Amino acid sequence: MQKENNDYHSIPAKKLLGRLKSSVGGLSSEDANARLAHYGKNEIQEEKSKNPIFTFLKQFHSFLIYILIIAALISWFVEHYIDVYVICAIILFNATIGFIQEHRAEKAIKSLKNIIVQYAKVYRNGQLIKISAKEIVPGDIVLLEEGDKIPADARILGCKNFRTVESSLTGESLPKDKFAKDIPEKTPLADRLNMTWMGTFVASGTAKAIIVSTGERTVIGQLAKSLEQIREPPTIFRKKTSLLAKQMAIIAASGSLLIFIVGFFIRGIEFTEIFLFTIAALVSAIPEGLPAVLTIVLAIGAHRMSKRNAVIRNLPATATLALVNIILTDKTGTLTQNTMTVQKIVFPEEKEILVSGEGWIPRGEFSQDGKVFEAQDKLQLSKLLKISVISNNSRALRKSDSKKEQYEIIGDPTEAALAVVGKKAGIEKESLIKSENVLDDIPFSPEVKYRASLVNTSKTGKQIYVVGAPEVILKKSKYLIIKNTKKILNDSYRNDIHKSIISLAKDAYRTVAVAYKNVPENTFDISEKDTDDLIFVGIVGMSDPIRPEVKEAISKAEKAGMRVMMLTGDHKITALSVAKQIGLITKSNSKYPEVMDEEDIADLPHEKFLDCIRNVSVFSRLTPKMKLKIATALQKDGNLIAMTGDGVNDALALKKADIGVAMGIIGTDVARESSEIILSDDNFASIINAVEEGRIVFTNTKQTSFYLVTTSFAEQATIIATLLINLPLPLLPTQILWLNLVTDGMAVIPLASERGHTDVLNQHPLSRKEGILTKDIMPFLILNVSLMLLMTLITFMYYLPSGIEQARAGAFTVMAFTQLFNALNMRSIKTSIFKLGLFTNKLLLLGITISALLQIIVIYNPFISSVFKFAAIPPIDFVLLIAFSSLILWAGEAYKLIKNRKNP
């Protein structure tokens, strides 16, 4: 194993070479092979795979599954084989789902391996060769060039114009200028500008670097280890449904035991008869259909969410969303588009020009003072855009394998943004170079802070085009263009331009200035001294644009009682600007700053840290471990959190969160595999839509469960009551099982698909302590069970003089139709069925109709009625019994009316 050091950035290069026993010429082949044997391959080791058989068997370790297995065995014993097959199918279905979910963590680790590149350029035996990235070892000297994916963590020994893109690791959207000099030991990882990290990219330039860490000792490798050790919190929904199943199983068992005691010891019914009846009652009362019903509810919710661009990877997440009260979100790629986009162009003595459009897509409009115009109609703007396009080595290319219009960039994002704004104006480098040929070039570097190009133009002769840092270009300029006229750049003009630069910077715009100069025709190459006495043209302001839907989505989240917090690795000024633009900071907090860096909170005592994250909503310069610490602390503080992100730096917090939400288009594999939900459109507003659907799913879960509980309680209560008042059993075991099959099967799926009735986003999140069956619905439960019991008993006693088979037919009819009318009640526990609209859930009406027809067949078909031991009742009586059963619907309406008057 490699010895872990964190000071590679702070010690002199010569000393580091000595520590790693290397040299600028690289390692010898023998030394490299020995190190490979000692340190191992440059890869992230996968956790030893678990035996799939044991993983599958583990899914059966659940209280509910035990109850279902017992129910299946009992059904087999009493020869109810259809019930056995149904229950076994339910058990296997749930075990399969659990088995699939078990592998999610392993997939997250595997996806990290995809970050490692396949090949690398290294110096061995003094020669530059290309080898497999897996064979790189500490001490290797590597050559890094534009477009390369960095193979391992390395310290830069020397570089030229070297910049890297680290957004997936640090959260910063802009490339980082790198250098070789030493920096202080306590410098945060994101500011270690003499280091490069495995899995990040070279945006421009070249560098020679020494490998300091490989495989699991890299920053990415350490993340993989941390990810492996994090246990995903058990979903609150699973806890609630498990508790519900236990409660229902205990009540069912208690009721069945009471039936046996009353029947055998008090009524003296023959043991075999009462035993078989007790078993049948137990099987019918045990919620064997509950897992399937809950899965159906969740699946319907997941389907609806997918239509709103939220793809569910873990079904319970659909209902858990209803309980979320804090959304933690990354900035880059989540709140912003992770694309540098030119949005403003400023010329001296003119109003600013606005540029529309999204990301790298080369379409947009130019407007000034509210009026849209053609860019090439303005000579000064046309000149600025031509300079920006010609003095540029980057481009944006459309992805050929993408169904949507998506682009990817080659080269530096800042230069790519300039190329894209040129395309918006119809200016493309491929056609422009025919009339403006580049003869020489000074590439951008952190030292000079500009790019200069010697261009031979067909109209104006030879000119030097310069694009770079505004303060540098302004200093080098002697003239400026004002409304197409060349003037001396005096102090007044300089001050005005400087104010424009400051104003743009305060709004978190990255600015570049554009200038040029005429040179003699005998000029064939250029140097830095040739870039003095420039003619200043204008300033280009660009930023990673806010996603257009974000501001409204955050407003909706706040109305829905959810707090949104930004956790980013980017700089404080950028985080503050974005937060203000999206409405995340609307008023100052006198207790704490508006934005706090990691170094501001890292050493706070626990209570102070907790108070800080309760009051501050924007944190910047955060490492992945600090994001994880904040998420964990919020959970321990009683919150249920959703975390959104797209990069490797978000993976730890995504996995730890109650609900991890990853971006589907720009998100990394690691982020997606660590999440429960993937946003297929990378739209932050889709999270709020998913929460809305989640609240509807949770409501439907409560109502469907309430319906099942009411059915079971009413059946058992009716049987116990008849035994206590010395009446014959009102229903036989086969009749009870058929009743449950018909009423439950035909009603629960339509109930599960019920649409939301109120604006759930104007309500606060449900409490994580709130169960599926709560105290507030107990009066309604008691009312429904009591009515079903009384109406069934009255009917049974009314027809008993006509014979037991007709009495049971009457009781069966009333019990079935009270349950069907109760299904209408359960569409909403609060709102009248007539306010909802009788025909707004057509699937439920279809289910009720089919169920009613099946009841008629069971009663009136001679063969089937003989199997179930029913005697037909007069048709007019059948119609009257249906009308009688509807009393439960009218009682439910009265209950809702009274309750709503008390609690409007």
Q: Which active-site residues does the annotation give? A: 330
Residue 334, C-beta contacts closer than 8 angstroms, at least 6 positions apart? 547, 644, 645, 646, 663, 682, 684
Structure tokens given for 87: 């229950």
Say how far apart CA 168 and CA 177 lie, in whole Å: 16
Q: How many CA atoms lie within 13 A of 122 on its CB side?
A: 28
Structure tokens given for 774: 């709560």
Structure tokens given for 158: 């020397």
H helices present in 477-586, as ranges: 491-506, 550-559, 572-581
Please give the radius of gyration of the chain, using alpha carbons only, rounded to the nearest integer: 36
Q: Which amino acid is it at 440? A: D
Structure tokens given for 378: 């303005």
Say how far apart CA 167 and CA 339 lie, in whole Å: 11
Say how far apart CA 199 and CA 112 lie, in whole Å: 9
For residue 842, give Cα distances in angstroms to 299, 749, 817, 848.
19, 12, 18, 10
108 neighbors 227 (Cβ within 8 angstroms)? yes
Coil, strand or helix at 105: helix
Structure tokens given for 726: 């010395």
CB atoms within 10 A of CB 52: 11
CB atoms within 10 A of CB 2: 18
Say how far apart CA 450 and CA 513 lie, in whole Å: 9
Say how far apart CA 585 and CA 577 lie, in whole Å: 9
Structure tokens given for 651: 């993976």
19 neighbors 113 (Cβ within 8 angstroms)? no
DSSP 280-344: HHHHHHS-TTHHHHHHHHHHHHHHHHHHTTEEESSTTHHHHGGG--EEEE-STTTTB-SS-EEEE
**Cα–Cα nearest to 226, from 214, 216, 234:** 216
The gap from C-alpha 424 to its chain's centroid, in whole angstroms, comes to 33
Burial class (CB in 10 A: 0-12, 13-18, 19+), 497: buried
- Residues forming beta bridges with residue 408, ordered by sequence position: 397
Say how far apart CA 713 and CA 716 lie, in whole Å: 5
- Angle, in degrees to the nearest 10, between helices 685-724 and 804-825: 160
Q: What are phi and psi of 269, to 5 degrees?
A: -70, 145
Say how far apart CA 422 and CA 339 lie, in whole Å: 16
For residue 198, give Cα distances in angstroms to 134, 216, 546, 715.
12, 11, 29, 65
Structure tokens given for 425: 């104006």
**Cα–Cα nearest to 147, from 125, 123, 175:** 175
For residue 418, give Cα distances in angstroms to 75, 514, 646.
73, 11, 25
E strand spans, 322-474: 326-329, 341-346, 353-355, 366-368, 371-373, 395-398, 407-410, 436-442, 450-457, 461-468
Say how far apart CA 353 and CA 371 lie, in whole Å: 10
